[in-house]
Amino acid sequence: MSDKTKKVQGQKAGPAEITKATIISKDDPERSVSVAGGFIEMRYFESILQDAIMATYIFADTGRSIDDKTVYEGLPLTGSEPFQFAAKDNNEVELKFDMIVSKVAPLSDEPNTSVIVLPLVSEAYAINDQKNVRKFFPQLKISDHVKSLITDFLESTKELDVEETSNSLKEYGMSRKAYYMLNTFAKKSQPSGGEGKTAGYFFFETSEKIIFKSIDSLFDEEKNPRKKSIIYNSSPDVPEGYDYKALTYDKDTGNVVEMAKMGAFTIATASLDPENFNFKRPILSTIADILESVDEAIEPLTTAARKLVGFNPSLVKEFARTTINFSDTGTYAETVEESSQKNFDYDGVYNQSIMRYNQVFASKVNITIEADFSLHAGDMIFFDAPSPQKDTKNDEVDRQAGGLYIVASLCHYITSERTLTKLCLIRDSFGRKGNHTKR
């Protein structure tokens, strides 16, 4: 069947095939029980703003599941048990994960049946709060520290997708948690070629990988090739070049006034150098100078769409946000020469990351599609919707909202009757760029 004649894929939103849903005893790894037979509902979550994957699994515990007893009593099921899950969507793509039962929450308790909700968290999430980081991190690239934190302190065996950083630093763990340090490193990281232009990384987990990537690379199709092309329209067919249709669609834009307040467009740094007690304050230049400094910082970026969101120049009076930091010149210095060197450049990196984080949610689209387990947080999607013009043709797309987006978050929703995927798509800019048929 050609792309032109592919029908609406709503019929593929039927129930997924659950091939595994097993709880393993935390006291005896050889003792386990399948809860696939009593399955009612599962919701699985990934997000670029979420350190770890999460899910909820609901099942009916009808008794005689193990040793002629209920799962709750026979295993017994009390929390922190390993949970193994696998399912296939209607395109035979498998979603597979090993997680931990964080809580056992009965929804109902009838004489013959109990409905139980199991909130699930990743193994790394469960380990994070049980292990403190007391390590000294020597002068290495931040990306090297990230790999060490994930493997040594989160004890993850998942594939790592860590983008190399251009900057390095020294750091003490000081009994902090791995997630805290990873998110701190994300704000201090600068990608190759980003010197003086941009900064900021995202740290998150999917069912397949643990990811530490720059904002710029996520929005760059050459570095993050698109996964799917999706359209929402009223036609009964899927137009040529698209993979399938969205079942629901709504769009939103960032609050530009709030973005400005948080430093998306103008930001300055005030710093105290404890070595000589010098306090460096931002010098308020003319408005033209301020706007020029902002343009120099953000214009060279590779963006998902044609143009970054802007702010009315007449409303810019001075820097909207000022960060105050202690300069760490000579921090952890081991030689006399190192005592005069900066460990981290707050002026050139930290403020750049704040601006970039506040730009990435400039445009947002929420869609529901047939279940697609091949998609993950951070993936790039090309999305089109109908033009809002009054007399638009059926095949005319919205040139402002259409184009490339990344998956900010997703939820796979599985019941015994249907399976859907809810996507929140975001990007840092406006205006359709590229084409839905390009791969």
Counting residues of the chain whose pLDDT is more than 70, the rounded percentage is: 87
pLDDT at 412 over 90: yes
pLDDT at site 432: 84
Contacts of 237 (CB under 8 A, 6+ apart): 4, 5, 6, 7, 8
Predicted confidence at residue 149, as pLDDT, reads 97
Residue 70's pLDDT is what? 86
State the average pLDDT over residues 408-432: 94
The reported pLDDT for the residue numbered 175 is 95
Mean pLDDT score, 186-196: 83
- Sorting pLDDT into bands at 50, 70 and 90, what band is 401? confident
Lowest mean pLDDT of 7-16, 161-170, 413-422, name the range.
7-16
- Of the chain, the end-to-end C-alpha distance in Å amounts to 20
Who contacts 4 (Cβ-Cβ below 8 Å, separation ≥6)? 237, 239, 240
Per-residue confidence (pLDDT) for residue 299, from 0 to 100: 47
Q: Is residue 176 very low, low, confident or very high in pLDDT (cuts 50, 70, 90)?
A: very high
CB-CB contact of 233 with 246 (8 Å): no
The band of 9, judged by pLDDT with boundaries at 50, 70 and 90, is very low
pLDDT tops 70 at residue 293 = no
Segment 35-53 shows an average pLDDT of 96
Q: CA 351 → CA 72, 258, 266, distances in Å? A: 51, 17, 10
- Is residue 83 within 8 A of residue 98, CB to CB? The reply is yes
> Which is nearest to 379 in space by CA: 242, 162, 218?
218
Convert the pLDDT of each residue in 46-70 to its tens digit: 999 999 999 999 999 887 778 888 8
pLDDT digits (tens, 9 = 90+) for 314-373: 887 778 888 888 777 767 767 767 666 777 877 778 888 888 898 899 899 999 999 999
**pLDDT score of 439 more than 60:** no
Q: What is the pLDDT of residue 7?
A: 41
The pLDDT of residue 147 is above 80: yes
The pLDDT, as a whole number, for residue 264 is: 82
Residue 3 banded pLDDT, cuts 50, 70, 90: very low
Q: Which residue has the higher pLDDT, 433 or 3?
A: 433
| Residue 278: pLDDT over 90 | no
User: For residue 312, what pLDDT is reported?
Assistant: 81
Q: Region 150-174: what's the mean pLDDT?
A: 94
For the whole model, what pTM was predicted?
0.89
Place 26 in a pLDDT band, splitting at 50, 70 and 90: very high
What local confidence, expressed as pLDDT, does residue 343 receive?
Answer: 76
How high is the mean pLDDT of the chain? 86
Give per-residue pLDDT as tens, 197-206.
Answer: 789 999 999 9
Q: What is the pLDDT of residue 6?
A: 40
Domain boundaries, the chain: 256-359
* pLDDT of amino acid 395: 58
Q: What is the pLDDT of residues 71-97, one digit of tens each?
A: 988 899 999 999 999 999 999 999 999
Q: Helix 287-298 vs helix 351-359: angle between axes, to the nearest 10 degrees?
A: 80
Pairing of strands 94-101, 429-430: unpaired
220-231 pLDDT, tens digit each: 999 999 999 999
Confidence band, pLDDT 50/70/90 cuts, at residue 10: very low
Which of 7-11, 109-113, 247-251 has the least mean pLDDT?
7-11
Give yes or no for residue 421 having a pLDDT over 70. Answer: yes
Name which residue leads in pLDDT, 51 or 393: 51
At residue 91, the pLDDT reads 92
Element (H, E) at 298: helix 287-298
pLDDT of residue 289: 52
Gap between the Cα atoms of 109 and 92, Å rounded: 36
pLDDT at residue 112 in the model: 67
Enumerate the β-bridge partners of residue 409.
47, 424
The answer to whether residues 272 and 327 touch, using CB atoms and an 8 Å cutoff, is yes
